[in-house]
Structure 1
Amino acid sequence: MTIIASDSATLTRSLDQLSVGESGFVGKINQLSAAVAQFDPHLGRRLMEIGFIPGEPLQVLHKGFFGGEPIAVRIGHSTFALRRFEAALISVITDKK
């Protein structure tokens, strides 16, 4: 698990690492791994097209029972279900806890 301190009051984590109820702001869409890029080379762009753009507030609403998939995320007035590998591409800036 990678946690990067962006300043003394915030942390940057990937969306799949957030717990249900946690919220934050989209930091960036991380680079696709070779395996993901081969499967869906346009995934990063699609995530941005549906609203995962830097600075947008989001909240994790629910995680599935088996393996934590899908992950229900509210961004703006919309709710999306993401697979764990999709959520892992999204950096989220959260308050330090």
Structure 2
Amino acid sequence: MVENILRQEFGSEDFQFKDITRGGRAFVFQVHFEGKDYVLRVCSQEQPIINNFKILKCLEGIGISPVPIQYNRWDDLHYSIESLLPGEHESHSDQNVPKLFQSG
């Protein structure tokens, strides 16, 4: 599933990813593609993608902050792909993910 989503979004198979899930109802992956890092969050329901920002706290230890850039669906799953801003420790998701739903 993760490979299919990333292939669809990036149009390539030249990516690396690792599972960084720390509980919760969403699956969270750190993705590396073309020299940049992203976060892929996947959930079976739309609402937890918006509300489950605590799961992103696991990223604070590595000095990055996710900023959503894409929201979409794969079969019955909802997902968001987020870029990472270096040096920030606050999640911007609570401000930006709802905007993705309005534009998506």
TM-score above 0.5: no
Higher relative CO (Cα under 8 Å, sequence separation at least 6) belongs to 1
Q: Could you state the TM-score of these two structures normalised by the residue count of structure 2?
A: 0.30
Q: Could you state the TM-score of these two structures normalised by the residue count of structure 1?
A: 0.32
